[in-house]
Amino acid sequence: MIENETSRRFPAEWEPQAAVQLTLPHEGTDWVEMLEEVMPCFVKIAEEIAAFEPVIIVCKQIEQAKNWFKNVPPGQISFFECATNDTWARDHGGITVVENNHWVILDFVFNGWGLKFPADKDNLITGKMHQSGFFAANYQHGGMVLEGGALETDGNGTLLTTSECLLSPNRNPHWNLAETENALRQKLGVNHILWLHDGYLAGDDTDSHIDTLARFCNPDTIAYVRCPDPDDEHYQALSSMETTLKSFTKINGEPYNLVPLPWPDACFDAEGNRLPATYANFLVINGAVLVPTYQVSQDSEALDIFKRLFPDRKIIGVDCRPLIEQHGSLHCVTMQFPAGSLNLKP
């Protein structure tokens, strides 16, 4: 094990939170053809979060956005007006670490998942939130291209990620794996990095973000996507990923408790393109876990598994079938901030 070179710690998602950020779709985004279909999904996510903790709504126009969230108590919602390209807060949102008992929000470069999509406006959101006084935390530029969906931590110094994403030539092409690891140690304070080199979902634009494939549920347990169908195009890659997960050990050398998630029936868009439905894209909040569902028969089984994985939290299914039309899901459209890191504004 290489010792951590900083005093930083990257907190786990299940630690106490101050709020969750959502960034709304509008007529200038790729959602323009299905705004009326997808907005209720964003509203549902916000309402479920607000029952447990505040929600931050980043939006193009505040007064218009407020019309959607009339059922959210005013004390549980804050609005931030800002120009945006899209809605994927997990990837353009600030990433929070703690350093010497002080929160630090890192504003990494978001370049549209390796220059695939415009991100010039989204890349500025976190900086603008800082300038407006939203953050009680210190603010620093991250100094590299990095998305929150690419990172999964146990809160104790272990990072789970994928080489397909972090070694993408359109992200940080000047670094190899060892140099990338060094940057992650310095920026996030992690000291035990677990790399997955296999695993993907058809229709995913992120180059295999870890939050679509495998997630920590506690420091000892990883829930992951498993494909049981040898005739499915994903079978070989996800089987290889499972083999790698079985080889991983915690810092103390013990293996992880691995929990396979159901494989949802294939979902397709109107043109017949397969969409990246995954139960791994869940969100842990204060007192609850929001689990994406897709109007398929495996939804109920997935919810039952999460009840066992998180026995001390309420499990809430949210229909995210509209979200995967733009190739993301519930975790992808949210970003949590730890308790004490924000100055929330009504």
Spell out where 169-229 has E strands.
Answer: 192-196, 214-218, 221-225
Residue 69: pLDDT over 90: yes
Instruction: Report which residue type is found at 51.
Output: A
β-strand pairing of 192-196 with 214-218:
unpaired
Ramachandran angles phi, psi of 17, nearest 5°? -115, 150
Beta strands in 219-304 (DSSP E): 221-225, 257-261, 267-268, 274-275, 283-285, 288-293
CB 147 within 8 A of CB 207: no
Q: What contacts 301, CB < 8 A, 6 or more positions away?
A: 262
CA R_g for the chain: 19
Whether the pLDDT of residue 250 is over 50: the answer is yes
Residue 109 has pLDDT above 90, yes or no: yes
Q: What percent of the chain has pLDDT above 90?
A: 97
Round the average pLDDT of the chain to a whole number and report it.
96
Amino acid at 92: H
The pLDDT of residue 4: 43
Q: How confident is the model at residue 7 (pLDDT cuts 50, 70, 90)?
A: confident
Each residue of 312-322: pLDDT tens digit? 999 999 999 99
Tell me the CATH class for 8-338. Answer: alpha beta
pLDDT tens track for 156-175: 999 999 999 999 999 999 99
Identify the burial level of 292 via C-beta atoms within 10 angstroms of its C-beta, where 0-12 means exposed, 13-18 middle and 19 or more buried: buried
E strands present in the chain: 8-9, 17-23, 55-59, 77-81, 95-99, 102-109, 138-145, 152-153, 158-162, 192-196, 214-218, 221-225, 257-261, 267-268, 274-275, 283-285, 288-293, 314-319, 334-338
With a cut of 90, say whether residue 187 has pLDDT above it: yes
Is the pLDDT at 1 greater than 50? The verdict is no
Q: Are strands 158-162 and 192-196 parallel, antiparallel or unpaired?
A: parallel
**pLDDT for the residue 344:** 87
Other beta carbons within 10 angstroms of residue 207's beta carbon come to: 20
User: What pLDDT score was predicted for residue 6?
Assistant: 61
CB of 284 closer than 8 Å to CB of 234: no
What does the pLDDT average to over 38-58?
98
Of 314, 330, 313, 331, nearest in space to 322 by CA: 330
From CA 335, how far away is CA 341, in angstroms rounded? 13
Judged against a pLDDT cut of 80, whether residue 70 lies above it is answered with yes
Q: Work out the number of other CB atoms within 10 angstroms of the CB of residue 298.
A: 17
The answer to whether 11 and 35 are in contact (CB under 8 A) is: no
* pLDDT at 37 > cutoff 80: yes
For residues 208 and 199, what is the distance between their CA atoms, to the nearest angstrom? Answer: 7
Phi, psi of 331 (to 5 degrees): -65, -35
Domain ranges across the chain: 8-338
